[in-house]
Amino acid sequence: MPRVAWPDNGSMLGWIVAHPFAYPALEVVHIVGIALLLGNLVLFELRVWGAGGELPMAALARLALGLAVLGFAMAAASGLLMFASQPLELLSNRAFALKMGLLLLAGMNAAWFHARGSLLRSDRTARVLTLLSLGLWLAVIVCGRWIAYL
């Protein structure tokens, strides 16, 4: 059986880079995950701002936030595999470092939103947290795109 030569990039998962379809397939999963995450967050955040007032908040939150978590899981799993395929390059990339910091802030923002009971009260603080959420997630996406160019 012929042996596959993997690139020596300091990675145990060099096969991802070496296989012609592995990395592009991971990118597709990553983008679909981001779409599920951001699309459902925007839908939920619009409800917090008063749009779709006839939709019960609890039912919409269960659906939209459940799909957002699924999207995050898809993006995180595919992102970890892409990272593992080229860790040295990514760790030295400023856009990647900024993206990871913004992801942390987005997670902290979501934790604050839920810890303060914002699902039960769509007050000013809840609306500010949703705006912050949207801004952070859009910045994460921008940084993700910049990774290839820095």
Pick from 48, 58, 32, 72: nearest CA to 132:
48
pLDDT value at residue 15: 75
pLDDT value at residue 11: 52
Q: How many residues does the chain have?
A: 150
pLDDT value at residue 8: 52
Average pLDDT of the chain to the nearest whole number: 91
Low-confidence ranges of the chain (pLDDT < 50): 1-6
**Interacting residues of 18 by C-beta distance below 8 A, sequence separation 6+:** 4, 5, 6, 7
pLDDT value at residue 17: 74
Taking the C-alpha atoms of residue 10 and residue 66, their distance in angstroms, rounded to an integer, is: 36
pLDDT value at residue 44: 97
Angle at 89 between CA 87 and CA 92, to 5 degrees: 105
pLDDT value at residue 4: 41
Q: Alpha-carbon torsion 123, 129, 131, 133, what sign?
A: negative
